[in-house]
Structure 1
Amino acid sequence: MATVELRFSAQPEHVRTARLVAAAVARRAGVDEAVLDEVRLAVGEACSRAVGLHRSNGITAPVRVVLTDEEKTFSIEVGDEVPVPTRASAPGAHGADGAAGQDAGDGDGEDEMGLAVISGLVDDVEVTSGEGGGVIRMSWPTTPETVLP
């Protein structure tokens, strides 16, 4: 199992770099070429969401992206450090159960749209949040390298 970890400051201009790194590592892991655009888009959405959460909550810690090449699966985890109590009290944020607050503002629509885009692009996606922050975990199947005779 090979793992690449990327950390970047919560600045929108770094999201593009995260997308490019994710696509390159996915290609090397054996993710089908036809799926690489989906990987790029899903990582972009997840990283943009994490950057937005960090910026709107004054979190200075970096956004974390972990890319893992397992035997038959390539997975990406995008993590933020915005704890559940802060998420629940922020306009447009979600609590641990993922339900929007009653007084959610415009940010809620963007958050929901980003998660909907990710869910539409990735068959295997899991969104969790806790005291240490939130994680979006996505995975894709890989094809084993064929050895030519």
Structure 2
Amino acid sequence: MATVELRFSAQPEHVRTARLVAAAVARRAGVDEAVLDEVRLAVGEACSRAVGLHRSNGVTAPIRVALTEEDKAFSIEVADDVPGAAVADADAAGVPVTGGSAVPAEDFDDAEGEDEMGLAVISGLVDDVEVSADEHGGVIRMSWPASSTTTLP
């Protein structure tokens, strides 16, 4: 299993770079060309959501993105450091949730429901999506089938 890790400050202009890196790594991992636009869009939504959460909640830690080539699959995890936001938004958007528990909405700023909409868009783009959270923050994990025998460096 090969993994590429990306960390960037919570600035909107870095989301484009994350999308480009995700598409390049997905292509190398063997994700079908027809699906690469979905990968770019889903990563863009997940990273934009994380950036928005960090900025609206005053979190200065970097956004973390892990791109992993697994056996016949390619997965991406986008992690934020806002406790409970991922679970509360995922519940509202109807996305599967593992671990953690929702915190009261007043305990974090979700940019007036935009995060819930972002998760709904991601779930529409990605068949295999999972949201988890704990007291340290949330993770959106997305995966796609990969057929290549090429491995990441």
TM range, smaller chain: 0.7 to 0.9
Give the deviation of 1:58 after TM superposition. 0.6
**Aligned pairs (5 A) from 1:90-129:** 94=89, 96-97=100-101, 101=105, 107-129=111-133
Q: What is the RMSD of the two structures over their aligned residues, measured on CA atoms?
A: 2.6
Aligned partners of 1:72 and 1:97: how far apart in 2?
Answer: 31
Change (3 A) 1:73 1:127: same
Q: Which amino acid aligns with 1:133?
A: G
Q: TM-score w.r.t. structure 1 length?
A: 0.84
Change (3 A) 1:134 1:34: same
Unaligned runs of 5+ in 2: 92-99
Give the deviation of 1:144 after TM superposition. 3.2
Seq. identity, %: 78
Give the deviation of 1:83 after TM superposition. 1.7
SS at match of 1:65: strand
Q: Which amino acid aligns with 1:128?
A: S
SS at match of 2:82: coil
1:27 is matched with: 27
Change (3 A) 1:105 1:14: closer
Aligned partners of 1:45 and 1:106: how far apart in 2?
Answer: 14
Q: Which amino acid aligns with 2:133?
A: S
Which protein has greater RCO, CA pairs closer than 8 Å, 6+ apart? Answer: 2
Change (3 A) 1:105 1:49: closer
2:147 is matched with: 143
1:11 is matched with: 11
Query: Is the CA contact 1:5–1:66 (under 8 Å) kept in the aligned structure 2?
Result: yes
Aligned residues: 140
Unaligned runs of 5+ in 1: none
Runs ≥4 residues deviating over 4 A: 93-100
Aligned partners of 1:7 and 1:45: how far apart in 2?
Answer: 16
Aligned partners of 1:81 and 1:38: how far apart in 2?
Answer: 25
Structure index of larger Rg: 1
Q: TM-score w.r.t. structure 2 length?
A: 0.82
